[in-house]
Amino acid sequence: MSRRLTILAGAGALVPEVIDGARAAGDKVQVLPLVERTDLGLDEIFGAADLPKLIWKITSFRTTHVTMVGGLKPPTAEREAFKRFAGAKGSSGDSALLKFAEKVLGMTGAKVVGAESIVPDILAGAGLIAGPPLDPPLLPVARFALETARAIGALDIGQAVVVAPGRIVAVEDIAGTDALLARVAHYRDEGLGADVPLILAKALKPQQSRLVDRPAIGPETVRRAAAAGISVIAVEANGAIVIGREAVNKGASEAGISIVGVALDHA
């Protein structure tokens, strides 16, 4: 039996991939944008203040499942509005979105699911994902990078880090992964770390739900990583997602970047 799926759509390239995957699986799909998007052919945007209308849309569609895909990039007044509505003061953005989803669940009876339950192929597995095989001496460095990403995630700082063998180069903050890679590119231009391999790692925060805002990489991540001189992208196996695999494979092969999934023992 097909699902009646409501997709609460944030920003990012994962949204159309999930929409296409759900329709291909035979689901009846309703898309309700939470941010302005010009690519979905939908004019209406639903903010936290529009909750009654949002609930009406979901219940009138007879939704059986709800997923929240894409982000509400901070800092925005709308993200704060969702946090206030959810009663998530002081929480991270992903925690607030999950609380919001739980309120939607309670009001509609729909089941909240993660994007990977709709498009299973997006979930990163263990081992080589794209690009050339990983140089074996870099495997423990990749694991160190992911452990570091988990450590900064425990402090709710970010999901990503860049490391070199034996040292941390930079960590993600509120500005996100693109800004992290721009900083690393600047360091390279200044001659810092130009003679060592650099590894970008992305991992789930220890306290993070797997229903929203998983760490993700896509073709643009690969492009920016190449510009920053990154040699390896390590993601948490069964924790991170890969958006646009065909383009990621092509970009990683052309740039000579090894993309690997590594399982964390305590994840």
Tell me: the pLDDT tens digits for 194-227? Answer: 789 999 999 998 877 777 778 999 999 999 999 9
Q: What is the mean pLDDT of residues 40-58?
A: 81
Reading the block at residue 15, the tokens are 């949204």
End-to-end C-alpha distance for the chain, whole angstroms: 33
pLDDT value at position 217? 96
> What's 94-142 look like in SS3?
HHHHHHHHHHHHHHHCCEECCHHHCCHHHECCCEEEECCCCCHHHHHHH
Task: Give percent of the chain above pLDDT 90.
Answer: 57
pLDDT value at position 267? 46
Please name which of 236, 73, 41, 221 lies closest in space to residue 147, comparing C-alpha atoms.
236
Rounded to 10°, the helix 77-86/93-108 angle is 50
Asked if the 123-262 domain carries CATH number 3.40.50.2300, the reply is: no
Q: Answer for the pair 216, 202: CB distance below 8 angstroms, yes or no.
A: yes
Q: Hey, do 4-117 and 123-262 end up sharing a CATH topology, with the first three levels equal?
A: no
Q: Which pLDDT tens digit goes with each residue over 148-188?
A: 999 999 998 889 999 999 899 999 998 889 999 999 999 98
Q: Global pTM?
A: 0.85
Eight-state DSSP code of residue 71: B
Sequence ranges of the domains in the chain: 4-117, 123-262
Which secondary structure element, helix H or strand E, spans residue 83, and what is its range? helix 77-86
Distance, in Å, from the CA atom of 253 to the CA atom of 132, rounded to the nearest integer, reads: 7
Amino acid at 3: R
| Residue 180 neighbours by CB distance under 10 Å | 23
Q: How confident is the model at residue 41 (pLDDT cuts 50, 70, 90)?
A: confident
Residue 248 has pLDDT above 90, yes or no: yes
pLDDT value at position 74? 47
pLDDT value at position 191? 84
| Residue 83 neighbours by CB distance under 10 Å | 23
With H, G, I as helix, E, B as strand and everything else as coil, classify residue 202. Answer: strand
Residue 139 has pLDDT above 80, yes or no: yes
Q: How confident is the model at residue 77 (pLDDT cuts 50, 70, 90)?
A: low
The CATH number of domain 4-117, selected from 3.60.10.10, 3.40.50.20, 2.60.40.1180, 3.30.70.3460: 3.40.50.20
pLDDT value at position 79? 54
Q: What is the mean pLDDT of residues 139-143?
A: 96
Q: What is the mean pLDDT of residues 39-52?
A: 79
Residue 64 has pLDDT above 80, yes or no: yes
pLDDT value at position 236? 96
Reading the block at residue 114, the tokens are 């993660």
* Phi, psi torsion values for 203, nearest 5 degrees: -140, 155
Eight-state DSSP code of residue 175: T
With H, G, I as helix, E, B as strand and everything else as coil, classify residue 97. Answer: helix
